[in-house]
Each structure stands twice: as structure tokens, then as C-alpha cells.
Structure 1
Amino acid sequence: MARPDRPPLDENLSFRKLEVLLAFLDTGNLARAAERLGTSPVSVHRALHGLEDAMRCALFRHEGRQLLPTEAAQVLGEVADEVLRLMAEGVRATRAAGGYSADRLRLGALYSLTIHTVPALLMAMKLRLPALQSELVLGSNAELLRQLGQGGIDAALIGEPEAPGPELLFAPLFQDEIFFAAPLGSRHATQAQIDLRDCAEERFVSLGEGFATYDGFQAAFRQAGCTPQVVMTTGDIFSLVNLVAGGLGCTLLPGRVRGLFAQKVQLIPLAPAHRMHQTLGLALLRARERDPTLLALLAACRTACTTAG
């Protein structure tokens, strides 16, 4: 879109100097204007004369020791008030468009965290920011990281990335143990723990690549020095549990699903040599680490995770 030509503005003209002018016009006194702005009378005086130089006309006159505004200063003051109000609204709108301190939060999360953690977190956020509207986006670790990087979501509750880039901040919240999951009544039902090296003939089902639980699955078998016989993969943890419950195969699951699926599958600890944990936390872009909404989210996460796990 073509923009109309504008005369160039003097580089000494700044929003700060306009703020100083308005404070001086309101108080009529250098000392009181300085007190309002949290600065010194000398700094106020210097800013006013810098503004006068930028305008290339007289804005003030001296009567004794008093500095008095001219009609030109009053005109500039009216314009400055409108400009500063418009700019403040522009800053608010720009931040909202960029997701900074907006009235809507787009939160990404792993499917398994919707069992306890996400509901507790959203309740905690409602208490902190009652007017905030939240949108929940579910996906794998890899997909949520991609959406976070592209601005599709504001933050993500995920497993700790293996190699987070410098643009990413990850705040660990809690750890979750990985268990061997088998159908109820399976041949593993009486075992106190599972040695993965004894499961060479077992059939397994798994989440697809990119999920935090998939990464834990692969790492556990690498550590055990064997390769699982995977007969099927799926795209969410709820389908995975149903496949196990239906007898299609066993898998590895995080302990956080135990309460919801106790009537479908049995979670058995891994042998000490193969025991593993996931680290779950909140990921956000480093460029938004001072965003008030995301700071409130992080505080709410820490509250929710102490009660939900």
C-alpha cells in the first residue's frame, strides 16, 4: 500500500520529550514535572529545550525565574497528548497481534498431560487471569515445537527437547517414570519388574516418531541393548492404550496415565538397569520471556504441577 509523503521529522523529536512537555504543562513547574516523571529538574529543562530546538520555534519564555509555555507549546501539547494516546494503543495492538500479553492464550500440550496437569493448570490460570481466554492445541513434542517456532501457539507443555535451540526456553516442571504396559491378565501380570532383555519375542505397539513417549521407548530399548518387535504405531496415547488393552501388543507408558487406564492395562516397573524418567516442562520462545501472560502461565504451571503431577 502506497503511503502519503510526509515531511521528515527532526531526529531530536522523541516520545519521551513529548511526555516531558505534557508533564510540564500539567504541573507548570520544573520541579513538580521532574517529580512526576521520576527524574531531575535539570533533565526536564534539558528535554524542553531539546524539544524547542526540534520544533525550530519558541515554545517557552522567561518571566524572572519562571519558565512559561507559549501558545505554540500549548498547540504542541494538544497534539502530543493525541499522539501518545494513539501510540500507546498501537503498542497494545501490536503486542496483542504478536501474542504478547494478549487476552487469549494458545497453549500446546501433549495428549497425556490432559489427564491431570492441563485441567489443573487451566484452573490455576483462571484464578490468576479471569478474563483470559485459553485455546488448547494437542500434538506430539515435535509438532508442538514446530508450532511454537512458527507462532502458532504461545507456549507448550512438552517433554524436554534433546537439543533446544538458543531461541527456546524450557522450564522443567516435574519428572515422570516410564513403565512397561501390558494387557490385564497377561503373562507379565505376576512380575514385580520387567527386564527388557527378556522381551525379545514380545510384540510391541508404539507412538509414532516425534512423541516424547516414543523417544523414551526407543531410549529404553537402546539402553537394554535390544530391538523391540513393533507391530503397529499410532498417533495418540489414548489409542495406544486401547491397542495394548485389546491384546495387540505391549508398550512403554509414563506413570501419569496410570489413574485413567488402571482398568485397561497394567503398568509394571522396569528393572533398575533399564529404569527411565521423562522430564516435562513449559517451553516458550526466549523473545517472549518477559511477557506478563507467559510469566503468569509459568507461575500457574508450578502451582498446578505440585498438585496434579
Structure 2
Amino acid sequence: MLPRISEEITFRKLEILITFLESGSLARAAERLGTSAVSVHRALHSLEAGTRCALFRLEGRNLQPTDAAHALADVAREILQRMDEGINATRAIAGYGAERIRIGSLYSLTSGTVPSMIMALKARKPEVQAELILGSNSDLIQRLRDGTLDAAVMGLPESAPELETHALFDDDVFFAAPAQSPYAGQAAIDLRDCAEERFVSLQEGFVTYSRFVDAFRIAGFEPQIVMKTNDIFSLMNLVGGGIGCTLLPGRVRAVLPPSVRLIPLQERYAVRQTIALCFLRARERDPNLLALLAASRTLRLGGH
């Protein structure tokens, strides 16, 4: 069973004791601590109440420490040092201000957005090593909640009040079809004309799948999905191979296979994705996350 320490004894009061002994007077201790001499005097006498012994004696108008006060101060220095080390170790394990930052990302953001952010972060904090973890929106949100990610670049969550979110850019969603498809030559796609078409899609949990569902809800029918996949690059290759059409965000244009074309949707079916940098609100003062946020704001990000 742990010993019970009086509530009168606190880290702050031990710090005041050490400062008083080092400075030699109430006034100088108060100046160093940014408080008043009265507050210092009150804290020292509170320590006497907590230890239940005399720590000081009056010599004229001066407060003189006893051997007991010096003994307590020696222990206090060790305790405060150990606690500081313990807090730093705890923060490092949790990822706060550590020399490593774990960044989650959607697959579709690895071709430009996330590498640019990491390079900008390295310019600000070269000592920090970045670890990249890929997944769907739902995967990344759960990892943030579990503490296995420090931050994530993903679609703006619709309901996650525990997350701090900072929008980076908006991205239009396009109809994707094989280059030889009759759709490829159209100026804009009316989804109602695609009711008999075969489609491929991402799995549930991806923000692109959510916008896929939204667009077809507007069109008033459920698409015939013949295959699903877990990454957007495989999805593009399925389209290029003629397996089916799909909807893709504009940011993949730079890495689109030659066999795939992106065609705008008619305005009535227009859906967009908001890409955001997200992390737990409880960690909003973490120096690594603040540096990552500042780095993201210096970049010209967008859905290429």
C-alpha cells in the first residue's frame, strides 16, 4: 500500500522551498518565481503543516531554514527531477513532442499532398522522423482514437467531435471510364443514363466510396457494383482494364493510367470531398502537430 502524503505538500510548494533556499530571501524567491513574498511565505508554512515539523525559525525579521528544511529540499530536488523525466518518457511513449510522428493518409494523397507536407515538416523540424500509415477514412479515425496515429490527412469526418480538423482543400469528384468507352467523349455525364452500366468501387469506409454513394443517391438508383477494392490505384487499374466505371476524385489525375479518362458529372450530381488534417483535440498543443499544421498551411495543396 502506498504511503499517504499530506495534501499540503505539492510539487509547486517543493519548488518554492528549493528556490527560497537557493535565493536566500522571500523577496528574491518571489521575484524568481513570479509571485509575491506573501505567497512564498504562505507556501513555506504550509509545508511545515504538511510535514508536521518546524522547517524554519525567525531570526529578527528573517526566516531561517532548519536542517530539516535542507533535508526536505534534497529529497524534493530528486523527486522533481524524477517526475520531469517520467513526464517526458510518458509523452514520448504517447507520441507527444517525440522525435517520431505517425501520419495517416488516404492512398490517393500519397502522390503529392502528403509527401509535400512531410518535406515541409522536415524543413521545420529536421530531427523528427515521419512514419506513414495508409488506410481508409474509417481506419484512420479509429487509429487516431486509439492513439496509434498522431495525425491523419483524410476526408473531413462528418461526426468526430473529439478530433481537431483543419481543412486543406476541396476536391471535385469525376466519372471515370475506360479511354475507349463512349463516355470518354462526353462533356459531362448524366448518371441516370448509366443505370445499366457496370461499376467498380472502393470498400465502405473510404471517403471516395461515401461520395460515390451520395452521387448515385441523387441519381435515384443503386449502381451495379461488380467488384470492390481497398486502394484507389487498384480501382483505377480496374477501370482501365474495362471491368467497370467508377467515380474518382480529381487529385488522382496526375497518376491516372493512360487507359482511363475523367469526365465531369453534370452539375446536379456534383459532389466534393474536403481533405483535412486531423488529430485529437486533447493533443492540440503538441509541438510536432503544431509544426505539421504550420507546414500544411505553407503549401499550395489541391485536387490536381
Q: TM-score, normalized by length of structure 1?
A: 0.93
2:108 and 2:2 mapped to 1: Cα distance?
56
8 Å CA contact 1:205, 1:230 repeated in 2: yes
Which residue of the partner structure matches residue 154 of structure 1? 150
Q: Find the partner of 1:137 among 133, 149, 166.
A: 133
Identity %: 60
Deviation at 1:307, TM superposition (A): 7.3
1:241–1:7: structure 2 CA closer, same or farther, 3 Å change rule? closer
Which residue of the partner structure matches residue 281 of structure 2? 286
Which residue of the partner structure matches residue 235 of structure 1? 230
Deviation at 1:98, TM superposition (A): 2.1
1:291 and 1:256 mapped to 2: Cα distance?
30
Which residue of the partner structure matches residue 113 of structure 1? 109
Q: Residue type matched to 2:253 in 1?
A: R
Deviation at 1:308, TM superposition (A): 8.1
| Structure 2 counterpart SS, 1:130 | coil
Deviations 1:39-58 (A, max 9, x none): 11110111111112212222
Deviates more, 1:222-231 or 1:232-241: 222-231
8 Å CA contact 1:117, 1:305 repeated in 2: no
1:143 and 1:40 mapped to 2: Cα distance?
52
| Structure 2 counterpart SS, 1:281 | strand
8 Å CA contact 2:143, 2:149 repeated in 1: yes
Q: Find the partner of 2:211 among 187, 199, 216.
A: 216
Report the RMSD for the aligned CA atoms in angstroms: 1.6
Q: Residue type matched to 1:16 in 2?
A: R
Which residue of the partner structure matches residue 269 of structure 2? 274
Deviation at 1:227, TM superposition (A): 2.2
Do structure 1's residue 34 and structure 2's residue 30 form an aligned pair?
yes
2:51 and 2:69 mapped to 1: Cα distance?
10
| Structure 2 counterpart SS, 1:91 | helix
Which residue of the partner structure matches residue 300 of structure 1? 295
Deviation at 1:295, TM superposition (A): 2.0
Which residue of the partner structure matches residue 50 of structure 2? 54
Q: Residue type matched to 2:171 in 1?
A: D
Deviations 1:165-193 (A, max 9, x none): x3233222211000111122321222111
Which residue of the partner structure matches residue 199 of structure 2? 204
2:226 and 2:63 mapped to 1: Cα distance?
86
2:170 and 2:231 mapped to 1: Cα distance?
20
2:81 and 2:303 mapped to 1: Cα distance?
44
Q: Residue type matched to 1:259 in 2?
A: A
1:305–1:28: structure 2 CA closer, same or farther, 3 Å change rule? same
Which residue of the partner structure matches residue 87 of structure 2? 91
| Structure 1 counterpart SS, 2:255 | helix
Which residue of the partner structure matches residue 17 of structure 1? 13
2:94 and 2:218 mapped to 1: Cα distance?
43
| Structure 1 counterpart SS, 2:205 | coil
Q: Alignment length, in residue pairs?
A: 304
Q: Find the partner of 2:178 among 179, 183, 186.
A: 183
1:67–1:227: structure 2 CA closer, same or farther, 3 Å change rule? same
Q: TM-score, normalized by length of structure 2?
A: 0.95
2:24 and 2:302 mapped to 1: Cα distance?
56
2:163 and 2:301 mapped to 1: Cα distance?
24
Deviation at 1:99, TM superposition (A): 2.3
1:161 and 1:58 mapped to 2: Cα distance?
59
Which residue of the partner structure matches residue 245 of structure 1? 240
2:259 and 2:118 mapped to 1: Cα distance?
27
